[in-house]
Every structure is written in structure tokens, then in C-alpha cells.
Amino acid sequence: MNKIFKIYRPVILLAFVFLMGIQIAIAQKIERIEPPFWWTGMKETSLQLMVYGSKISQSRPSVDYPGLTIREIQRVENPDYLFINLEVAENTRPGMAALQFRFPKGKPLTYSYALKERASGSAERQGFDNGDAIYLLMPDRFSNGNPDNDNMPGMVDRANRNNPDGRHGGDLKGIENHLDYIAGMGFTALWINPVFECNVKTPSYHGYSITDFYRVDPRLGSNDDYKALVDKAHKNGLKVIKDMVFNHFGDGHYWMKNLPMPDWINQWPTFTRSNFRAGTLTDPHAAEADKDKMLKGWFDVMMADLNQENPLVANYLIQNSIWWIEFAGIDGIRMDTYPYSERNFMAEWMRRIHQEYPNFSVVGEVWMNSPQQVAYWQQNYRNGDGFNSYLDHVFDFPLKYAVGEAFMESNGWSTGAAKLYETLSYDFLYEDPQKIIAFADNHDFDRIFNTLGEDVQKLRMALVLIATTRGLPQIYYGTEILMTGWENQGHGYIRQDFPGGWPNDSVNAFNGNGLSEQQAETQAFVKHLMHWRRKSDAVIHGKLKHYIPEEGVYVYFRYTDEQSVMVVINNNKESRSFRTERFAESLEGYSTGTDVLSRTYFDQLRIIHVPAMTARIIELQK
Ligand code: CA
């Protein structure tokens, strides 16, 4: 070996010098700066840039732009990352700021960083409220508006519409093409499942294996397409709620090939799954080991668990949310797996969002069975440990379960209609029961039509309850045309393609072609219900008063000082006529009414008749 080394020494030395040269050359490339641009005039004047490039930490960054100063440079374990803490002074003008990176050797690198002007009224945007009704859809499964993007270069899983868990080609263009349908159905807000790039081999059509927090998946469209979709939705009277995930991300992310720091993610000696017991986080008796596994265990093999206790991770995620709000003009965020992220970080996230956008809305997925467990996570909850999430909205998972069961049971002390009554009686736990989203199913559950035994009457009762109880309703796409699917068949079955969304579909639910009579009637029912709801001041602004169900009939009122709506749900296989004396405190001053669903007129309110398995929404008249 020595002899060979002696003979070839000049060659080896030359090769070494050459390789060093390459290394310097590699160092002089910035792969990414995130956030990719920012804005002037934000309330928060600090901005943290994550700079990614080979050996970038060897550089000395500087900036030459009026109003922009570097406060601190943070180097981390991995030399390919550098964090720059900037101060954007209050009156800084929009423009291109020159960031310069000087290396010990070689030429300095210059990067033009855009500071944009904020859209007028950006900070004053209004989130969603009780006047809204949310339509939830999964972009890969709603409509394929652009077959040319079904497969894209560099994206590893290929479209396959025959595979329930494959990509089916739905996209942003498809949603855009059918905004008139969604608005026409009476909905006012659109919750779109995640649209971030998910470039992983395992099924990722659902959008929850994010591989780039700053990029829309090219199979759905571009970032600009997403922004255009939001603009067009607004023109159609639809707010847009963006689905976000902070707990985990997909293993195809560049971080997983080259982590910024070992504690960027929660790591375990061997793969460790979360125990999914969010109850441990509020349980005063819970073991630390169980809480740790809940928070730091991975969601799935290909979904790494982000460590939000690392302040750099925390700041990255907070800025990412603000970037999307400002860039795309969204109205709300739905946060996935809400309790799975570190709670104090999540509270700080909310504080930062509301600092920039005081009226912006966020709803957290607190997937828990009992109201006690859900209520803990809503803002200002009077809990013993002093924690405040500042989270404004939560989904009503307990009511979702109650709806699925109540209409399938016989009526008893706490079964059947009484289950709905009892579940809502727990509202004393919530800081604000009006800031709860009622729903019957979503992309993670059996389709509500299946849960209710494919009984259209039961589905209608469920929809009436969701649309008229306190808070605001969310309906899952396809419910209006009786789409079916059991969750245990596989998630692909509860997220099937919306008929008419693909060229040559034999059924087209957008124009009604090929729908069965039952489907068309249900679609018309939902449309009528949602259009009526958006004009009902009593439902939007009113209080709720409900009465103990008797003989399986649940009666409640939504009322303001001026208006009252009486909802009657008859959970019986027989019709019921009942006297109304016991509702006197709600009926006082009202003498007649009209059922907005059947258009039945009641010339008196002393005795009310309800057909079997039917709900009435009676607008009361004085
Ligand atoms: Ca497509």
C-alpha cells in the first residue's frame, strides 16, 4: 500500500485538492431559505430564516437593506443548516433584500430575499362563525380538473384510480370548477383536506404525510393555483379553511435525509408508535411514560414526530402558518391531531396567529369521546392546572358519536333521543358552546349514511340536528348524495370519488344526471336546509333551550329576542302527536308556525304532530 501511495502521491494529492474545490463549490449553493419570502408591516417584527445548503453554517451572513437587521445567527449540530434571526423594523419598505453569505474561502453568495407588501385588510380578515356551514372535501377524491397533473415528474406514487388507496387525480382545478356547486348547495365555508406536497411511496393521496411545508403537491396544483382557488372561493361566497398538521410529517421530507438537529424530531431507540391516548395529557393520575409515548411516539412508521419543544421547530411551524394565511388569504385553519403537539407551543401558536389576525378562526381536532376531555382544549377552560390553549373552536366528537347511536337505538333513560339531550347537557363544560363544530362524520369515519343503516329518514334527522343545534355544522362531501363506505374496509372506501368529478363518470352529482330519486331528494333536502340556515337569525345568533325528551321526541328551541325556531325530532317508528304545555316558557308570545322542511303550516301550537322518524323545523310566528 505504501509503495502504491508513494508512486501515486502526486495524483492522490491532486485529487484531494480537486475534491476540496468541489466541496467549496458545493458550499456555495443555497438549497432553500424558509420561509421563502415574508412581508413588511407584520405585528411581529422578528423573522427567523432557516437556510439550508451544504456547509452553510461556515458562512457569515450579512444583510444590506434599510430596516432589516440581523439580530442573531444560530448554528446547530448539522453544518448544512443556519438560522438567521432578523428584525424587520416597523416602517421597512417592501422590496428585495440582499442577503450575503461570506465563506472562509471562495466567493460570497448573494440571495435576494423578497419582503412583500401585505394585501389591504389582511389583518382584519374575519374567520368563520356560526353563520357558516362547512363542506369538507378531500382534494384527490372530489374532482379531476386537470388530468395532465395526475402524474408529475419526481413524484413517487403514480395515479391509480382502481386502487382505493391510490391517487385518483383529483386536484385544485377540480374544486375550482365546482365552487358554484358547493356554494349553490348553501355552504359558506370549505374545509379542504391537506394540500401540501406528500412525496412518499406509501399511500399519501390523503395529504397527511407532508414532505414540504411550503409547497402544494404538484399533483393538486401549484401554490399560486391554491391562492387563486381561495380568491375564487371568496368570490363565490365561500371561506376557505386550511388543513394543517404539526404533529408529524412524511419520511420523504428533506429533513429526514439530513436532520437539522438530532432533537428536531422525537427519536426512540426503535420505532415507537404513539399510544393515541390523548386522555393521558389531562389525566392527573397518568404515568409520565404513557404521556411521553402519547406525545412523542410516532403517528405511523412513515410519519416522523416533530419535537415542538425545540424552539427552532416551534418557530418554523408558527411562521409557516402565518405565511400561508398571508400568502393564500385563507380564513381559517383546521389543525390535525391537535393534542398530539406540545400544548404550550400550541398556545403560543394561537397567540401569534391572533396577534397578526385577531379575528382569524382555528379549529382543533381534539378527537376525544367525552365532552370533559374535549372542553379542556378550548380556550379559557377553567381547568385545575391553569392551562389555556387559546384555541377558539373544537369539533364536537362526543355529539358525533351520539348522533350515530341515538337514531339506531330504542328510546330509554339515556338512550335514543335522550342521548342527544344528555350529550348537549354537558355544554356547561365549554367556555363557549357556540364555538363548537357539529358534524356527523368526516374523512376518518364510517359514512354517516352507513352508520344510520342506510336509512334516509334517519340521515335527515341527523342533518337537521347538526344544522340547527348550537355552533356551526360541517358536512362531509357526498353525504348529500348518500355516499357510502365503512372505515374498516379501508380508508379509501370512506373517501371515494365524487360522481361527476371525473371525465366520463356515468353519474354526475353536479348536474344530477344519473342520480337515484333518493339521492336527488337528499341533495335537494341538504340544499334547502343549508340555504334556510344561512338566513335564520335564531339559529345563527340565538341561544339553545332544550327539553327532556319524552317518548323519544326531542324538542329544542333556537331563539333570540325577536325570533324563535322550534325543532322537533321524532325518534320513533310511529308518528307522534303531543301537547305543548311543558314548552310554555319557549312558546310564550307565539301562536302559529311553519315547518320549513315540509312547509306544513301550524295554525295553532297546542298540539304538534310529527310523522315517524322525522324532524320538523318550525319557524314560530307571533
Ligand atoms: Ca389531476
Per DSSP, the three-state class of 112 is strand
CA–CA gap between residue 563 and residue 547 (Å, rounded): 18
Strand 592-595 relative to strand 614-621: parallel, antiparallel, unpaired?
antiparallel
Give 385's contacts (C-beta < 8 A, 6+ positions apart). none
Is residue 12 scored above 60 in pLDDT? no
Per-residue pLDDT at 381 = 87
Among 365, 392, 441, 497, the one annotated catalytic: 365
Closest CA to 99 of 25, 33, 35, 24: 33
CATH 2.60.40.1180 placement within the chain: 543-621
**Exposure on the CB side of residue 567, measured as CA atoms within 13 A:** 30
Please give the distance, rounded to the nearest whole angstrom, from the Cα atom of residue 171 to the centre of ligand 1.
5
Residue pointed to by grid coordinates 403537539: 341
The model's pLDDT over 29-64, given as tens digits with 9 standing for 90+, comes to: 899 999 999 999 999 999 999 999 999 999 999 999
Please give the distance, rounded to the nearest whole angstrom, from the Cα atom of residue 170 to the centre of ligand 1.
5
The mean predicted confidence, pLDDT, of the chain is: 94
Sign of CA dihedral 246, 251, 253, 257: positive
Please give the distance, rounded to the nearest whole angstrom, from the Cα atom of residue 492 to the centre of ligand 1.
17
For the chain, the first-to-last Cα distance in angstroms comes to 104
Closest CA to 503 of 126, 137, 150: 150
The model's pLDDT over 153-162, given as tens digits with 9 standing for 90+, comes to: 999 999 999 9
CA–CA gap between residue 38 and residue 328 (Å, rounded): 13
CA–CA gap between residue 497 and residue 169 (Å, rounded): 10
Please give the distance, rounded to the nearest whole angstrom, from the Cα atom of residue 173 to the centre of ligand 1.
8
Per DSSP, the three-state class of 42 is coil
Q: Which CATH class, in words, describes the domain spanning 12-16+24-119?
A: mainly beta
Average pLDDT over residues 572-593: 97
Is residue 365 among the annotated active site residues? yes
Q: Under a CB-based contact definition with an 8 Å cutoff, are residues 332 and 241 in contact?
A: yes
Please give the distance, rounded to the nearest whole angstrom, from the Cα atom of residue 364 to the centre of ligand 1.
29
Copy the grid coordinates of residue 495: 373517501
The model's pLDDT over 278-336, given as tens digits with 9 standing for 90+, comes to: 999 999 999 999 999 999 999 999 999 999 999 999 999 999 999 999 999 999 999 99
Copy the grid coordinates of residue 278: 390523548
Q: Under a CB-based contact definition with an 8 Å cutoff, are residues 194 and 207 in contact?
A: yes
What burial letters (b/e) apply to 65-94, b meaning 16+ CB within 10 Å? Answer: bebbeeeeeeebebebbbbbebebeeebee
pTM for the predicted model, two decimal places? 0.94
Please give the distance, rounded to the nearest whole angstrom, from the Cα atom of residue 109 to the centre of ligand 1.
38
**Exposure on the CB side of residue 424, measured as CA atoms within 13 A:** 25
Give 131's contacts (C-beta < 8 A, 6+ positions apart). 188, 472, 534, 540
Among 212, 336, 392, 446, the one annotated catalytic: 336
From the centroid of its chain, how far is CA 325?
A: 13
Please give the distance, rounded to the nearest whole angstrom, from the Cα atom of residue 326 to the centre of ligand 1.
26
Please give the distance, rounded to the nearest whole angstrom, from the Cα atom of residue 169 to the centre of ligand 1.
4
Check whether the bond before 398 is cis (ω within 30° of 0): no
pLDDT category of residue 8 using cuts at 50, 70 and 90: low
Q: Which CATH class, in words, describes the domain spanning 130-249+309-539?
A: alpha beta
Q: Which residue has the higher pLDDT, 22 or 101?
A: 101
Please give the distance, rounded to the nearest whole angstrom, from the Cα atom of residue 123 to the centre of ligand 1.
33
Strand 576-579 relative to strand 239-244: parallel, antiparallel, unpaired?
unpaired
Q: Under a CB-based contact definition with an 8 Å cutoff, are residues 400 and 536 in contact?
A: no
Per DSSP, the three-state class of 559 is strand
DSSP 8-state code for residue 512:
T
- Strand ranges in 119-188 using DSSP code E only, listed in sequence order: 134-137
The model's pLDDT over 199-251, given as tens digits with 9 standing for 90+, comes to: 998 889 999 999 999 999 999 999 999 999 999 999 999 999 999 999 999 99
CATH 2.60.40.10 placement within the chain: 12-16+24-119
Copy the grid coordinates of residue 67: 430596516
CA–CA gap between residue 135 and residue 183 (Å, rounded): 9
Per-residue pLDDT at 28 = 73
The model's pLDDT over 450-503, given as tens digits with 9 standing for 90+, comes to: 999 999 999 999 999 999 999 999 999 999 999 999 999 999 999 999 999 999
Average pLDDT over residues 105-122: 94
Please give the distance, rounded to the nearest whole angstrom, from the Cα atom of residue 151 to the centre of ligand 1.
8
Average pLDDT over residues 428-446: 96
Average pLDDT over residues 547-570: 98
Strand 46-52 relative to strand 81-88: parallel, antiparallel, unpaired?
antiparallel
In Å, the largest CA–CA distance within the chain is 111
Please give the distance, rounded to the nearest whole angstrom, from the Cα atom of residue 152 to the centre of ligand 1.
10
φ, ψ of residue 473 to 5 degrees: the values are -95, 155
Per-residue pLDDT at 329 = 98
The model's pLDDT over 385-425, given as tens digits with 9 standing for 90+, comes to: 889 999 999 999 999 999 999 999 999 999 999 999 999 99
Q: What is the DSSP string of 67-96?
A: TEEEEEEEE-SSTTEEEEEEEE-TTPPPEE
Q: What is the CATH number of domain 543-621?
A: 2.60.40.1180
Sign of CA dihedral 581, 584, 586, 588: positive
Please give the distance, rounded to the nearest whole angstrom, from the Cα atom of residue 498 to the centre of ligand 1.
14
Please give the distance, rounded to the nearest whole angstrom, from the Cα atom of residue 147 to the centre of ligand 1.
4
CA–CA gap between residue 462 and residue 449 (Å, rounded): 10
Per-residue pLDDT at 1 = 41
Per-residue pLDDT at 19 = 47
Average pLDDT over residues 183-198: 98
φ, ψ of residue 595 to 5 degrees: the values are -75, 115
Q: Under a CB-based contact definition with an 8 Å cutoff, are residues 399 and 469 in contact?
A: yes
In angstroms, what CA-CA distances link 140 with 124, 250, 383, 498? Answer: 32, 17, 40, 10
pLDDT category of residue 363 using cuts at 50, 70 and 90: very high
Average pLDDT over residues 521-544: 98
Please give the distance, rounded to the nearest whole angstrom, from the Cα atom of residue 161 to the centre of ligand 1.
11
Per-residue pLDDT at 17 = 46
* Run of H or E including 233: helix 223-235
